[in-house]
Structure 1
C-alpha cells in the first residue's frame, strides 16, 4: 500500500458542548462525565503564534510524509490506537485554547477518564481520505482552515493517493508538486517536536505489538500519567519562558535590556523582494531533491571546506541574490533562522512531553556584492564559513537566553496590539493612532533592518527518523511547513531518506513573480555549480 500521512499541528465528529455525547466514527464509547481539567496560560512566544492564527490559521503547522507499508499497518483500528497513545503522552495535542482577553489565553486539557474516552477523542481527530499529496497539502494550506481553538491537532491518512516525484530532467529530481505552503515570513516554528512525534508514530505503527498489546499500553500510559487519583502532580509542559531561572537582580535585568537593544541595532539588512498584494494569498513551494549519490558528494564537499550544508545554503542564497541585485550593493543582505533553545533550559521540565515551543531566532548578515577579482567559488566558500561563524556565535553567545526571552516578550506585545487592532477593524471600531512624532530626519538616519528571506534548516532528519525500527514502513518523501500570511516566504533545507531537499515556499500573489523565479533559478544553479563540481 502506498500512503501519505500529513500530520497538521481535528474526520467528522459532532460535539455540541463539553457535556454532550460525542458521536465517533468508530465503536468506542465516551463515559460522558464531566472531569477535572489541567490548564496553564500561554507564554509570550505561544501568544505571538496563536493570536495571528485566529482569523485564517496563520502559523498552523503541518507535516506530510509519503510512505509504502502493508495494508494491516495502516488499518484505522491500529492507527487510532497509536494516535490515542500519542495524545495521552503529549497533552497539548489534545488541549483546547480558551481566550478571555489578550492577556488571558490558556491551554485547557481534559484528561480522558478511560481508554474509551481517549479513543473517542482520537477518533474525532483522525480522518481517512483518498487524495494525492498535492491535493492534501494544497487543501490544508490554501483552503478552509483545518485547525481551531478546539482542534489543535489532526491526523489524516490518505491511501493510494501519493504523487511521487517525476523522472529527473536534470541531475536534480524536481517534484511536480508546487501548491504547498511553508512557515510565514517573520514566523518559524519548532518543527523538531513534530518530526519526533512522527518517528514515534511510525515506531508504534510499524512495531510488532498487536492491537491488544497497544490497547494495554494505552491503558497503562493513561493511568500512569493522568489518573485523577494519582499522587503524581499532573501538569502541562512549561511555556518557553518558564524553562529558565529568572534573575531577581534589577541591575542584571537592566544590563540584559541594554544588550538586547544593542544587538538589535546591529541587524543591518537593506534588501527585500518586491511585493504586490493584488490578489488573495496563494502559497506554492517548488521543491528540489538531490539523489543519494549527489547528496553524498555535497556533504563531502562541505566537509572539505569546513562547513555544514546549512551554512552552504546561506551562502547559496547570498550568491543568488547578489547575481541579480543591481541596487544598494553597499548594503548588507540579512537572512534569519530559528535556534533551538532546549539545550539552555535551567528549570526541570514539568512534564516529560517534548511537544512544546522552544525556539529563538538569529540572523546571518553577508555582503551583497561579488568581487570581480576573486574566483566565485572562493567567495562562496568564504561566505559559507562566515555564515557558520555567525550561526555558532549566536548559539554560544552567553546572552542568548536573555535576548531570546526579551525578543519573545517584544513579539508577544506586538501580537496583542495587532490582535486588538484586527478585532476592532472587524467590529468597525478601530481608530488609527496619531502620526508618529519622530522627525523625518531621524527616520531617514535609521539603519535599515530588512530581512530578505527566512531559512528553516532542519539538518539531517534521518537522525530523527529511526527507519530501522519500523522496517515494514518505507518513508520516501517529506514536506513540512505552515499556513502563512499574505506575502510569506521561507526556504527549507534538510536531508531525508538519504536525499538533500531544498524548497522555497512563498505567496505567489504576494511577490514579483519574475524576481522570485529568477532568485530560485540562481539558487539552484549556484548549488549545481559550486556544491556539485
Structure 2
C-alpha cells in the first residue's frame, strides 16, 4: 500500500518561479517561539474506515500535490534575515512531476496507532521546520491474520495533517481536510487527478508573481479611519479593555525538566449529544458558552479558595468575516486569521441550594461577553493593536532567547490611561471552541471514507494548557491538552474530573 508513486520528471522543466512576502505581526508572534522546539505546531488527526483501493499512496500523493499547488504556503519555507525581516518564500515546482516529488517528500506512511502518532508529534522531536511547514502522515495497523478478505473490505486508517501555526489556523486545517477527503474519496480517477495536477501546475506558473501568496491578517483587515482623534480613541479603548482583564486564578505549577503533553478526550454518543445541544438551545446559549460555565464551576469545585477574585479564561476569535478579499491575489484560505478575547466570570458558588441556576446564568454571561467581543465596533482597531503588541513582544523575547541586546519595542503605543490600580490578570486556561465541524466536513462528498474520530491540538510550551470542544460525526467531543509535568498533578486531575461531572450534572440531566 505504501509503494512510492510513479514520478516522471520533465528534464527540460528546470526553471522555478519564486514568490515571497514578509510575515505579518501575528505570524511573527507564532513563528519566533516555534524556532527551537516547534511550539504551537498544529496537528489534525482524523480516524476513518475506507477501502484500501482508494487510499493507495499514489492517489494520496496526487491529491496532496494538487492541494499544495492551490495553497502555496503549505509548500513554502521561511527565511529569517533579522527580527524585522522574516519572509515566506515559495518556489513553484517547474513541472507536475516535480510537484509530485515534493509532495511525496512531505508524506509518510506509518504503522502506528492514533495514540502513538499524536504522542510522537506532541512530545517527540519536531516534525516540522523552517524548510518544512506542512507534513502529511497516513497510518494503519496491519492485520497479521491469514484470513482472506474481499476486494471491497475496509480498514481503519489514521491521518495526521501537520502545519505550523504561523501558516494558518484551525479553520484552515478543517477546510483543508474536507477538501482533501472530498478529492480523495470522490469520483475522480487517477488519470483525472493527474490532469488536474497538470492544470494546477500550469495555472501556478501563469499567475505566480510577487503577490501570489495569501496576505497576512494585518494586510487583509480594513484600514482604520485616518485622523488623530480616531487614533487616540482607539488607543484609549484598547488600553481600557486591557485594564478590565481581571483574573485571580491559575493552576498551581511545578518545575520539570521535560514537557510532556497529554490529551485526555471524551466523546458523547449522538443521542446524548443531541440532548445536550437541545438543552443549551432551550436555555438560549450555545455549547461553547456552556463549556465556559462548565470550566468555571469545575474550577470552583476544585479550588475552594480566593473566591473573591474572578476567573478569567481566554479564547480565539475567528476574524475571517472581517477580512477584505482581493481576487488579484491567491484566494487560498491558508492564512492565520484569529483575534483574541477573554471571558471573566465570578468564582464563588452558592453555599447552599441548587447550583444549576448559577451555572446557566454564567453560561449566558459567557455568551454575552463573546457576542460583545465579536460585535464591538472597535474590534478591527483592537485587532490591529493587539497584533502590533504581540509581534513586538515576540521580537523582544526572541532577542532575549538569542542573547541579543534589546532595543526599544517597535509599534507599541505609550500608556495614556493613568490612575488605574494594577489588578491581577492571571488566566486560568484557554478554550478552543470549534463549534459544529459537521458544517465544514461534507461527508456525503466522500461516501466510501467513513470519518469517525477527530482530535486536534498543537505542540505546547512547558506549562501549556488548552481545552477543546466541538461536535463531529454527530458527537460532542471534549479534549484537554496539558503539560502533565508542568502542573500539580492532583489539582489538574481533580479539575478534569469535575469538568466531566459538571457536564453530567448540568447538561445531561
TM over 0.5: yes
> Which of 360, 368, 382 in structure 2 is aligned with 1:403?
382
> Which of 281, 292, 295 in structure 1 is aligned with 2:270?
292
Whole-angstrom CA distance in 2 between matches of 1:232 and 1:276? 50
Verify: 1:27 aligned to 2:7, yes or no.
yes
Verify: 1:388 aligned to 2:367, yes or no.
yes
Verify: 1:516 aligned to 2:468, yes or no.
no
Contact map agreement 2:44 2:456 (CA 8 A) in 1: yes
Verify: 1:264 aligned to 2:264, yes or no.
no
Shift of 1:232: 8.1
Structure 2 unmatched runs, 5+: 144-161, 409-417
Contact map agreement 1:284 1:505 (CA 8 A) in 2: yes
**1:432–1:251: structure 2 CA closer, same or farther, 3 Å change rule?**
closer
Whole-angstrom CA distance in 2 between matches of 1:189 and 1:311? 25
**1:483–1:306: structure 2 CA closer, same or farther, 3 Å change rule?**
same
Verify: 1:47 aligned to 2:28, yes or no.
yes
Whole-angstrom CA distance in 2 between matches of 1:333 and 1:287? 24
2:425 corresponds to: 449
Whole-angstrom CA distance in 2 between matches of 1:293 and 1:60? 34
1:100 corresponds to: 81
2:289 corresponds to: 311
Whole-angstrom CA distance in 2 between matches of 1:240 and 1:431? 27
Shift of 1:135: 1.0
Count of aligned pairs: 479
Q: RMSD value over aligned CA atoms?
A: 2.6
2:396 corresponds to: 417
Whole-angstrom CA distance in 2 between matches of 1:116 and 1:133? 31
User: What is the TM-score when the length of structure 2 is the normalising length?
Assistant: 0.89
> Which of 114, 117, 125 in structure 1 is aligned with 2:95?
114
Of stretches 203-212 and 253-262 in structure 1, the one that deviates more from structure 2 is: 253-262
Whole-angstrom CA distance in 1 between matches of 2:228 and 2:459? 40
Shift of 1:258: 1.3
1:240 corresponds to: 217
> Which of 366, 371, 384 in structure 1 is aligned with 2:350?
371
2:129 corresponds to: 148
> 5 Å matches for 1:342-361?
342-348=320-326, 350-361=329-340
Whole-angstrom CA distance in 2 between matches of 1:59 and 1:198? 19
Contact map agreement 2:5 2:61 (CA 8 A) in 1: no
**1:26–1:416: structure 2 CA closer, same or farther, 3 Å change rule?**
farther
Q: Secondary structure at the match of 2:315?
A: strand
Structure 1 unmatched runs, 5+: 2-10, 13-23, 163-180, 434-441
Q: Secondary structure at the match of 2:273?
A: helix
**1:227-251 CA deviation, whole Å, 9 max, x = no partner?**
24x5987510010100023233233
1:170 corresponds to: none
**1:254–1:431: structure 2 CA closer, same or farther, 3 Å change rule?**
closer
Contact map agreement 2:262 2:484 (CA 8 A) in 1: yes
Shift of 1:139: 0.8
Q: Secondary structure at the match of 1:51?
A: helix
**1:256–1:374: structure 2 CA closer, same or farther, 3 Å change rule?**
farther
**1:514–1:303: structure 2 CA closer, same or farther, 3 Å change rule?**
same
Whole-angstrom CA distance in 2 between matches of 1:112 and 1:444? 56
Q: Secondary structure at the match of 1:154?
A: strand
1:89 corresponds to: 70
Shift of 1:221: 2.0
Shift of 1:256: 1.0
> Which of 38, 44, 47 in structure 2 is aligned with 1:57?
38
2:256 corresponds to: 278
Verify: 1:302 aligned to 2:280, yes or no.
yes
Verify: 1:477 aligned to 2:458, yes or no.
no
Q: Secondary structure at the match of 1:192?
A: helix
1:215 corresponds to: 194
Contact map agreement 1:43 1:239 (CA 8 A) in 2: yes
> Which of 418, 439, 442 in structure 2 is aligned with 1:463?
439
**1:38-73 CA deviation, whole Å, 9 max, x = no partner?**
000000000000000000000101111000101111
Whole-angstrom CA distance in 2 between matches of 1:25 and 1:248? 55
Whole-angstrom CA distance in 2 between matches of 1:496 and 1:210? 28
2:151 corresponds to: none
> Which of 480, 489, 511 in structure 1 is aligned with 2:465?
489
Whole-angstrom CA distance in 1 between matches of 2:376 and 2:125? 42
Whole-angstrom CA distance in 2 between matches of 1:134 and 1:362? 32
Whole-angstrom CA distance in 2 between matches of 1:207 and 1:189? 26
Whole-angstrom CA distance in 2 between matches of 1:377 and 1:284? 31
